[in-house]
Each structure stands twice: as structure tokens, then as C-alpha cells.
Amino acid sequence: MSDTFIKKIFQPSGKGKAWRAFALIMLLALAGGLVVGGSSYNKAVDAIAAKTDNYVKLPYMKVIPFRLGLDLLGGTRLVYKADLSAVPDADKVNALDGVRDVIERRVNTFGVSEPLVETNKSGNEYQIIVELAGIKDINQAIKMIGETPLLEFKEQNNAPNQLTAAQQKDLNDFNKAAENQANSVLGKALSGGDFSALAKQFSQDDATKDNGGELGWVDSSSNPEIAAIAATLKKGEINQNLKQTSQGYEIVKLEDKRQKTDPFSNKPETEVDAAHILICYKGADSCTSNLTKDQALAKIKQLKAEATPANFKDLAKKNSTEPGAATTGGELGWFGKGKMVKPFEDAVFAMKTGTISNIVETQFGYHLIYKESERPVYEYKVSHILIKTKSVQDILGNQSQWKDTELTGKNLQSASVEFNPQDNSPEVSLQFDSQGAKMFGDITARNIGKQVAIFLDGYPISIPTVNEKIPDGKAVITGNFTLEEAKLLAQRLDAGALPVPISLVNQQTVGASLGHDSLTASLKAGLYAFLLVALFMIIIYRFPGFLAVLSLIIYTILVLSIFKLWPVTLTLSGLAGFIMSIGMAVDANVLIFARLREELHKGKPLGMALEEGFRRAWPSIRDSNSMTIITSVILIMFTTSVVKGFAVTLIIGVLLSMFSAIVITRNFLKLIPVDWLEKKRWLIGMGKNNADISNSYANDSNGIKNI
């Protein structure tokens, strides 16, 4: 990077360019400040609107939270060892990535805040590292994650759920006994019995029994059945009549009630009641339609032109490709934020009640949405006593629309991405072993024209239609795949097919209070570091030091905004890297100001000394920061996640520190009138003698020019 380039880009000459640069810097600082303090801005908007009776209603800003790591938020870190001894060397990386993909999807079912699942190789040992920030039921997480991925092939199930007479009698007797016991406990509770003691004695909910049935705060998203019962109660009340849920008979006591608010924007949460029409197409997730994407788009446009609130559900029954829409009319019921895919959710919450949306595209196809109603979300602090009942599924097992075929991943030799020779589109090729080939041939023979589902860990990853019997054990899954989608499907299939057992080798739990204490201590350390650096700069370098502190404030705002927007997962080591970068951010200013004083001691005028100070300091700044960047890149490439967090925040801080010193500080100095500063040289730590030398230097220079 040449000095000429630096001068052109980072050192604009002339006051006009300096003012333009200053305006750009302040605009960046304002934008960064809004990103960092978005929640404060939204509160100010509400305050202004309240004072002006909503006459002045500024737009809200989307609040972006910091992504906190395990050691700051609390949670659990699990390290698994993957046994790849039976996997060929060429397939090891793909097998490990496939297992990671399965574990990541399993972790997402817990609703963990920003889970981290990554692979690592230490010597000859392959590891999978799982960080579950904020996880509560760690034993369930370990159980779910620790199971080997299960790949299954299933066919459609037409068998009815039917009990024998003896089974039906046993079911009725069991549930009648449960009802009698529940009524007895309810009577004791309503007659003034100690609810906590009754829960400890009679409740069959093992998770809450020991603490007196306390469920804590629930809402329609986290526990809809209990929330529905609590919504009918007043504070301190117990439901007067026995309530039956999917688990059994519930006796609920409402301890407290409050309106739920978003923890980041502090705005009241709402939920909506809506219906939708889905038109899917070949290649869309879970789609069985034969429509092309263009045909599906044309059809949804036609429905959009026809749809009204009055006929919406009839159109959904006749046209929607969503399973069950012919009965439900596309009704989705009540749901809150986070329950739908993002494009769908953004559209429905932005709509007015009683309106029909524009066409919304998701991975499932094209949607029209009819927003029927919207209401506030309340959460309830409750205690409960559960008396369990049994269902038909408890006796027969979960007979869904799919049934097992006994063909599993152990019979699949490989799955790979190939390209259709006719149109060069990507497709997934399957190769079974001899036993699997025979089983697959039988399955395809009896399901011609029907669908066969491929499940991974109980989740359908592909539902192709069988066109003909496939006796040789070689099959091709076609669809409107992108190359990445085809690779992902092949990877998931291999994850279920390859023998990759995993074992838990390390478990570390971090309490939420410990994480909070660590965060508080880190923030204090950062604040003290900033104040000490600011004090040092102002005492030693005076006015330029003060400008450097202003530059450092803008630097801090910009770094924190990048942490939010990227987003960067902040860990303790990451915060250490950020705090260290504060010192490095001012290091460049120290080099520049030291050079500036050297030039002034030589007798050069202030304007010339300033230019020379920046020019001569740049090679040192460039080289020292380049070494730090190279070291950080090496740490990112070859170390574990803890050290990576430090390196990522450090490299961001170093890059912005150069911008801070060379652009922000320099343009601040360019805005100060040189003549004014020449008269007040004590502001830059220079005495009168230096001023006389400088004036002499200037006079000699003028004399040379005149000659």
C-alpha cells in the first residue's frame, strides 16, 4: 500500500474536503450510535409521541441485540469425540460435517439463543463442539445430541388407529381412575388445602412436583394449554372445574399476570390469528405438487386477484397445496413472533387486521395471508397439579401418515451429487448394499405412483414420488435443486448412512449469574481502560490528545455496531480482544503525535509538521498493525473457538483503529485553524522557544523561495 494512495484516500487536502470528511465521520458515528443504542432511541420515540399526543411519531428502529456467547450468557459447553475409524479417509470430512448438521438441527429444537456447533480436529481426534447458551434442560440436550443419526425410509400408512375391545376397556378404566383422583385433589385445593403440598403429594409432573408445582411464567407460545386455562382466572384463583389437556387433567393456580414485552425493544408483544393459501412447486420444501415455479406464481397471482376476506377460506380449501387445507381452509390459529419463517412473519405482523397480503415467497412456495385479528400477549405465573391420562397413541404407538419399511441408513452405501445429462440440473444419487437393494426394490414395486419419505432423526428431508420399480439398488432423487441444496441433502443422507458414533468427552456448565458477573467485570475493565487511555492522551498530548479521545469514542461506537450487525458472538476472550484493541487504537495516535513533536522540534511550521507527522508515522502504523492482523488470521485458522473469539474481535478492532487514527483524528486536526494553534502552542505541548525556531524556519523558507 503506497504512501501516495494513503495520502489520496486518508489525507484529503483543503478545508472543504476536511469538512466533507468530518460530515461523513459524524454520519457514521450517528448510524453506529443508533445501532448500538436502538432500544434507547425507541424509548425516546415513545416519549416524544406521548408528549405530543402522537402528533410527532418518528419511525421505530429495529433493535439488534448483542450476540452473547456461552461464558457471558450462561449455559453448557459439550465436547463430543467422533469415531471415524470405519470411515474412508476421503469421506471423513463430509461425514463429520453431516453429523454436525444433524446435531445443529437437534439443538435448534430447544430454542437455544444463538447455538454454536462446530467441528474441530486435534491431532488424529475429530471433535464436535456444542455450545448451548441459556439451555435449561441439559440432561435432555445430552440425550438428544448423543444419539447416532438415524436414517429411515418410510411409505404411506393407510392402516386405521383401532384398539381391541380389551385395550379400549383398559384405556377407559385408566382414564376414569385418573379423573376421579383429579376431582378429589381439586376438591382439596378449592377447600383451602395447601396447593404446594398437594402438588408435591399428587402431581405426576416430575419436573415441577418437588418445587410445589411451580411452572414459572408461561404464555400461549411456551405452554398454550396451561396459558389458556390461566387466562380465565384471576390472581390467586384455582380453576373451579377440572380441565383436560393433551397430558391429562390439570389443576391450575394463577399466581400473577402481566403483559409480555419484547426484552430488546421493550415494546408490548402481540400475536395474530391468520389463514393462508399456499401454492408450492417442484423443489420447494415438503412439496408434492407437479407445478413449476412459474406455474405456481401464475396461479397465486390469479388467486390474489380473486381473494376477498369473505371468500378467502373457500379459496384455500379448493386451491391451497398445504396438507389439510381442504378441511381447515388454511387456518393457522393464533401465533406469535418466532413461530413462522421470516418472510411470512414479517409480512403478517406488518399487515392491518382484516386485509390480505401481497404474494409472499418462502422455501415452501408462494403464500397469500389473511390477517383476521391481533391481540396482546399475556404471560402468567402459575403453579399446577397434573394427573396424567392415556391416549390411543400411548397404546398403539404413534401411527402417522408414514410407516416403517425396515430400510434404514445402515443399508445405504453412499449418497452423492450428480448432474442430469439432459438439462445438467443437480440431483442426488443413492446406492444401497445388496440387502438394501432388495428391500428398496420391494418398496418401490408396491409404491409406484406414490410417495416414499426419507426421514433423518424423525424429520422428513425428502419425499420423492416413485415412478417405477428400482431393482438394482440405484436410485436418483430429482427436483428443482440448487447445487447447494443437492449437496446438503447428500450430506444429510450420508450422515445417517455412515457409521459415525459420537461420545461425550467433556461437559462444562456456566451459570447465568457467573456469566452476568463476567460480563459486568469485562465492561468495567473496558470502561477503566478507556478512561485511563483518555487521561493519558490528554495529559501528555493535550489538545491533539483530546481530539484523539473524541476519535476513540467514535471508534468504540463503530466497533460495537459492527459486533451487532455482523453479528460477532461476544465471549470473555472476545471482549478481551476488544479491550486490547482500545489500547492499540490509541497507539497509532501516539506514533503520529510523537512524530509531530519531532518535526516541531526541528523548527518546522505546524501545518508542515502535521503533514510530516502523519506521513512518517504511517509506515510504523502499517507494519505493526499488519503483524497483528497476520497473527489474528493464523489464530482464526488454527485454534479453537475460545481463541478465535479473541482473534476476531482483535482483527476488527485493529482495522478500525487504523481508520480512527489516519482518517478521523487527522480530519479533526485539519479542521483546526493552524494560525490559531500556532499562537497557542502550549495546547500541543510546545513552548515559545519552539515557536521562535518555527518562525525562523518559516522566514528562512520564504527567503529561499524569494531567491
Which stretch, 229-243, 264-278, 531-545, has highest mean pLDDT?
229-243
The predicted-structure confidence for 238-286, as pLDDT tens digits, reads as follows: 999 999 988 899 999 999 999 888 655 667 888 899 999 999 998 887 7
Distances (CA, A) of 204 to 91, 218, 240, 248, 331: 47, 19, 20, 10, 34
Q: Work out the mean pLDDT of the chain and round it to a whole number.
A: 80
**pLDDT grade for 7, boundaries at 50, 70 and 90:** very low
Are 3-32+511-706 and 165-265+380-392 the same fold in CATH?
no
Per-residue pLDDT, averaged over 633-648, amounts to 80
For the segment 216-228, what is each residue's pLDDT rounded down to a tens digit?
888 876 788 898 8
Mean pLDDT of 680-697: 57
pLDDT single digits (tens) 457-476: 666 777 888 888 888 888 78
Helix (H) or strand (E) holding 211: none
Q: What percent of the chain has pLDDT over 70?
A: 82
Q: Under CATH, which number does the domain 270-376 receive?
A: 3.10.50.40
Look at the domain 165-265+380-392 and name its fold. Chitinase A; domain 3 (3.10.50)
pLDDT in tens, 464-512: 888 888 888 887 877 667 777 777 777 767 666 555 778 888 877 766 5
Q: Are 666 and 614 in contact (CB under 8 A)?
A: yes
Domain 3-32+511-706 sits in which CATH superfamily? Answer: Multidrug efflux transporter AcrB transmembrane domain (1.20.1640.10)
Given a cut of 60, is residue 695 above it in pLDDT?
no
Can you tell me the mean pLDDT for 323-352? 85
Highest mean pLDDT among 40-54, 79-93, 189-203, 596-610: 189-203
| pLDDT for residue 640 | 66
Question: Three-state secondary structure along 526-583?
Answer: HHHHHHHHHHHHHHHHHHHHHHHHHHHHHHHHHHHHHHHHCCCEECHHHHHHHHHHHH
Instruction: For residue 62, count CB atoms less than 10 angstroms from its CB and return exposed for 0-12, middle for 13-18, buried for 19 or more.
Output: exposed
Boundaries of every domain in the chain: 3-32+511-706, 78-147, 165-265+380-392, 270-376, 399-497
State how far the Cα of 371 lies from the Cα of 373, in Å rounded to an integer: 6
pLDDT tens digits, one per residue of 36-91: 777 777 777 777 766 776 556 677 777 777 777 777 777 788 888 888 887 778 77
Does position 13 have pLDDT exceeding 60, yes or no?
Answer: no
Cis peptide before 605 (omega within 30 of 0): no
Q: What is the pLDDT of residue 12?
A: 44
203 pLDDT band, cuts 50/70/90, is: very high
What is the CATH code for 78-147? 3.30.70.3400
Mean pLDDT, rounded, for 194-214: 91
Q: Is the pTM of the predicted complex or chain greater than 0.85?
A: no
CATH number of the domain at 399-497, please? 3.30.1360.200
Measured distance CA(369)–CA(317) in Å, rounded: 14
Residue 125 has pLDDT above 70, yes or no: yes
Flag whether pLDDT at 702 surpasses 60.
Answer: no
